[in-house]
Chain A
Amino acid sequence: MIELSGVTKRYPGGHEALSDVSLTIEQGELVFLTGHSGAGKSTLLKLVAAIERPTVGHVIVNSQNVGRMKRPALPFFRRNIGLIFQDHKLLYDRNVFDNVLLPLHIQGLTGNDAAKRVRAALDKVGLLKKEKARPITLSGGEQQRLCIARAIVSRPALVLADEPTANLDDAYAKDIMDMFRAFNEVGVTLLISTHDQDLIRRYGGRNVQLAYGKLV
């Protein structure tokens, strides 16, 4: 599913976020990406989602070389990936329903089919009753769940989550991790970055640890 071979990412200015990382993730795996802040977790996720390109090496996702992908092909590649952000990146000018509708809309899905899928996704994250609410009125945990609903509504085979539980208390974090496990059980590949060691011990997926841009 995901294959990194000899990947180095150097940002302009000379800072090397990842150096010579090789990693393979199979389909249906639940992988935790851990490490101190600045270890290169976010950079790795960005490389997989084709937000950044590797300086050296190959990133292959779904047997596509992401590093060499042409710009017009990028949107179609990203539609197969669900992205969950630490800062949610919700749109505050529309309600919960429309936020989740956006990915479907982008893919050209409209009308009843789209509405059904949006409600199914909202139901999964427990926000069905708040579909008319504005994201700004939701709590932090709810906003994170809304972000998850938006990531899974187009039924991607791969979900990338960047510190999804960083700003949440334990109860909310547990909620969200349960959700992730449920997705994993139906065959979704999950790559979750976190610095919460407790969480990994409790859920026990594969743990990939990064330190100063290198695999440990």
Chain B
Amino acid sequence: MRAWLTHHLHSLKIAAQRFFDAPVASLFTILVIGVAVAMPTGLYLLLSNLDRAAGDIKPQAEITVFLKTELGEAQGKALANTLASQADIASVRFVSKSEGIEKLESAGLSDIAAGLPDNPLPHALVVTPKDTTPPALEALGSRLRQAPEAERVLMDTDWIKRLAALMGLGRDLVFMLSIMLGLALAAITANTIRLQIYAQRDEIEVARLIGATDRFIRRPFLYFGGIQGTRRRPDRRRPGRRRRPSGSQRRACGVRLWRPVRAGRPVRRRPHAAAGPERHSRLARRLFRRRPGLAASGKHLTQSSSSRVQ
């Protein structure tokens, strides 16, 4: 059991080492995975935000019922009261003829209003429904249409319907995109690991000859795939923050940038890479040395802000 555990740990270590030994290749794979995951996620986020924004507007959905012209103001108000008491109606506002013409005038159509011999507008009721989902609105609308007092019923539900349809389409698109990108992701990871296998052919061959089981050989590769999958998460979660690379990362940056892969020939690691991390630490140090200028400017900023506080 302990041997088995140490063995797994060892496989994990090997996988991590390989990962940091080829930083650029690994980085690109991570980038691709990141984009592939971020795209559907971002779209979904956009969609759900739109959905919420649409949800804020929905309660304002109103149905305007124009009453027949022969009906008087009293009859209209009575109808408004009876409608207001119905279960699926939140409120009913009575808009009289005169109110209607006033609105028309204030909307900049006073010339037309003035030209009219008398007020041609009917009384109207503005009904605010309780349930603003399209089917409920539709049901209420058709009921109001059947009322004998109603001349015409205007609903502003059409755009809600259209929005809902658009949202549905968007959701379907995101779903399809996710599936496709998911497939692409699997293909990319598989391809990276295939390249890895190609690069490690010597080792696989030797291990086979010495008596390694297939599982033993496969394990580091599986771990490698796992590391690729998990590595992107911390980088994505904090996009604004740049972390100082860890010791192994810094060392890894000095090691060969890419590994030549020639078709048809076993790839052997280059001798200079075999010289170990010590050889590259100097380069790494130079690459990652803190810039004195930057440090000074940072100090200056903190000092000035603290003096302002005083």
Question: Count the B residues whose beta carbon is within 8 Å of the partner chain — how many?
Answer: 25
Instruction: Determine how close the nearest CB of chain B comes to the CB of A45; give it in whole angstroms.
Output: 12
Q: Is the CB of B211 within 8 A of A136?
A: no
Tell yes or no: B202 within 8 A of A by CB.
yes
Which of B202, B208, B211, B275: most chain A CB closer than 10 A? B211
Main secondary structure of the interface of B (DSSP, over half): helix
Query: Which one of A93, A106, A150 contacts B212 once the chains associate, using CB atoms below 8 Å?
Result: A106
Using known A-B contacts A78-B209, A91-B203, A92-B268, determine if residue A105 contacts B274 with beta carbons closer than 8 Å: no
Chain B residues whose CB sits within 8 angstroms of the CB of A110 once the complex forms: 3, 6-7, 10
Chain B residues whose CB sits within 8 angstroms of the CB of A111 once the complex forms: 6
For window 38-59 of B, CB contacts with A under 8 Å fall at none
Using known A-B contacts A75-B211, A109-B3, determine if residue A91 contacts B276 with beta carbons closer than 8 Å: no
User: How many A-B Cβ pairs are below 8 Å?
Assistant: 67
Interface string of B256-293 (1 = CB under 8 A from A): 00000000000011010111100000000000000000
Chain B residues whose CB sits within 8 angstroms of the CB of A83 once the complex forms: 209-210
Instruction: Determine how close the nearest CB of chain B comes to the CB of A2; give it in whole angstroms.
Output: 18
Tell yes or no: B20 within 8 A of A by CB.
no
Question: Count the A residues whose beta carbon is within 8 Å of the partner chain — how many?
Answer: 29
Tell yes or no: B74 within 8 A of A by CB.
no
Q: Is the CB of B210 within 8 A of A106?
A: yes
Q: Is the CB of B7 within 8 A of A108?
A: yes
Q: Is the CB of A102 within 8 A of B206?
A: yes
Query: Which one of A78, A89, A91, A92 contacts B211 once the chains associate, using CB atoms below 8 Å?
Result: A78
9 shortest A-B CB distances, which residue pairs? A78-B211, A79-B211, A108-B3, A106-B212, A75-B211, A134-B274, A75-B213, A103-B210, A110-B6
Chain B residues in the interface with A (C-beta under 8 A): 3-4, 6-7, 10, 202-203, 205-214, 216, 268-269, 271, 273-276
